[in-house]
Structure 1
Amino acid sequence: MLKTALIACALLAAAPALASTPSPALSSPGEIEKAERAFAADGAALGIRDSFLAHMADDAIVFSPGPVNAKALYAARPSSKTPKLEWWPQRVVIARSGDLGLSVGPWAINGKRGAYYATIWRKEPDGTWKWVYDGGGDADGGKGPDPAAPSTQGPTATTGAGSPAAGFAQARAAEDQLAKAAAQDAAGAYDAVLSADALLTGPGGTKTQAVDDLEGRRKLRPAALTLTPVGGGASRAGDLVWIHGQAQWTADGPKPVAAHYMHVWQRRAEGWRLIFETLINDT
């Protein structure tokens, strides 16, 4: 099974604009890598169910196939140390305010590499990191780094929107524009918003594509697709936002393909950019 769980279902509570945005120097992507590797170590020691429960937030969600509460889903499963699931971070990104982050990397089951996971981490009031989304999508894990290799660290935003509510509203506007354009021309819509260093996983059938092969993945995507945002959350500084929702497109079969997606948007000098997408077919 893939590392599975999805980001909190509702927007973080609106907060008043910050008088000053925390310095990027106070936000270390190393915190995200440390949290992810601790999670993975517990996965080996405790098994999937118990490690996932130990590291998830109370409001974390997973796709099954649509978003459901992760704690309820995993609590109903039996404890087991088989199969052996391993994963390790390849790219980590942290919000300017140091309270929200993204981790992406390969996973393996019983020593055999599979696809890619993605985790959204949120710092809780007590200072601990908990995941609020954890899922996986098709990409060639064999082309990823070795488990012991340090992750690469994505850039931290130089400015934020000032609050979670403002950041989410701005990213949602970018999401809505992407959805409107993708309904007519998906390739052109994504080209307009993807960052040059974006990572993409899915949809189904793209297991041979590298996670950073933007051109190759562009050719394998549907010509047009419908994106319907459902929920997500934002960092305290309003510079890093995740949005999840439903996707649908026409394929060769009699029924349209149904899927769920998770996007991560970052506020960059050139505007809001999509830095990560996982597109998971509902099968």
Structure 2
Amino acid sequence: MLASLLVAGTLGAAALPPDLAAVAAAERGFALDAHRFGTRLAFLAHFDAEAWLFRPTPVPALPALARDPDDGRLLEWSPKQVGVAASGELAVSTGPWAAHAAGAAQYAHGHFLTFWKRGTDGIWRVQADGGIGHPAPAPAAPGVAALTDPPGAATPLDAAQRQQRHAALEKADDALRAALGTDPAHAFDTIADPALHAMRDGQPPADGAAALELVRKDASGLGRGARRALDLAASGDFAYTLGGDADCIDCGSYMRAWRWRNGAWKLLVDLSLSNR
């Protein structure tokens, strides 16, 4: 199973621009370490000290992983779509996963979503990781697709510009969470990027118009939990937000990747989970 996932995620990756290919390579390296050393050790090795893990609400990853038993469960995955900021240090990846208990023949399936950040040492580390489960998907075409435009020359924002872009991101995330509580059927209509990638438990991911149709079927209020973290690329064109609170079961949890387009933040990837 791992070999087929990695082959599907590797073929065609050479055609990606270098920054996008580096994110795909980091994800594949993470998956290979899980195969060689076990899932728990691989997660501990690749997660940043301040990373988040969704269970289903966001929790600090390293303390949660430190408490996990080594139960022999096999988790295999590979990237199918990646995106990266123009400044090349903040990224997103998503793709299929498959898992089974030690000694079991039957696999569970789904898709993961991972936010990455490249440190000053050049190493990519996981900032947040979550996912959905769904029935076994049809075999995917080989290759890795780009979620963002190929990175070009990027000029970092100055302090004032960064503060403005940060405030605009908070406002966009707040507006979406508020709309999910009052008009969930239309909450995404004006804020979604045309290439929106939506992930919902029990369903395969969807893109574009199909993604909008998928999110319109959400239970009322799903994905409006309290924001727990956000980060903004130095270039100001890419960011993520995440949230959820166990004290608000009906609010659900979320991971969102955003890109700056035509003077506004647009939602590029949305994973919303029930807390039940």
TM-score where L is the length of structure 1 = 0.77
The secondary structure found in structure 1 opposite 2:143 is coil
Answer whether contact 2:241 2:256 (CA < 8 A) is retained.
Answer: yes
* Structure 1, gaps ≥5 residues long: 1-24, 249-254
Give per-residue Cα distances to partners, 1:108-155, cap 9 Å, x unaligned.
Answer: 014735111001110011111110101112455614625xx2210122
Aligned equivalents of 1:93 and 1:45: distance in 2? 27
C-alpha change, 1:77 and 1:138, in structure 2 (3 Å) is: closer
Q: Do the aligned partners of residues 236 and 228 (structure 1) sit closer, same or farther apart at CA in structure 2, a change above 3 Å counting?
A: same
**1:105/1:175 CA distance change after superposition, 3 Å:** same
Asked whether the 8 Å contact 1:160–1:239 carries over to 2, the reply is no
Counterpart amino acid of residue 273 in structure 1: K
In structure 2, how many angstroms separate the alpha carbons of the residues matched to 1:112 and 1:124?
A: 35
Paired AA for residue 167 in structure 2: A
Give secondary structure in 2 for the equivalent of 1:220: coil
Q: Aligned match of 1:150 in 137, 143, 156?
A: 143
Higher helix fraction (1 or 2): 2
Cα distance in 1 between the residues matched to 2:125 and 2:133: 24
Q: Give the RMSD, CA atoms, in angstroms.
A: 2.8
Counterpart contact for 2:81–2:93, Cα < 8 Å:
yes
1:73 is aligned to 2:64: yes
Counting matched residue pairs gives: 247
Equivalence for 1:61:
52
Distance 1:133 1:165, change over 3 A: farther
Between 1 and 2, higher relative CO (CA 8 Å, sep ≥ 6) is seen in: 1
Does 2:228 align with 1:235?
A: no
Specify the alignment match of 1:214 in structure 2: 211
Which residue among 253, 267, 270 is the counterpart of 1:274?
Answer: 267
Tell me how far 1:78 sits from its aligned partner.
3.6
The reply on whether 1:107 has 2:97 as its aligned counterpart is yes
Does the 8 Å contact 1:160/1:267 carry over to 2? no
SS in 1 for 2:257: strand
CA distance change for structure 1 residues 58 and 128 in 2, over 3 Å: closer, same or farther? same
Q: Distance in 2 between matches of 1:52 and 1:62?
A: 10
Q: Distance in 1 between matches of 2:253 and 2:58?
A: 9
1:83–1:183 distance in 2 versus 1, CA, 3 Å:
same
| Residues 77 and 232 (structure 1), Cα distance of their counterparts in 2 relative to 1, 3 Å cut | same
Q: Identity over the aligned pairs, expressed in percent?
A: 25
Identify unmatched segments of 5+ residues in structure 2. 1-15, 101-105
Q: Which amino acid aligns with 2:211?
A: L
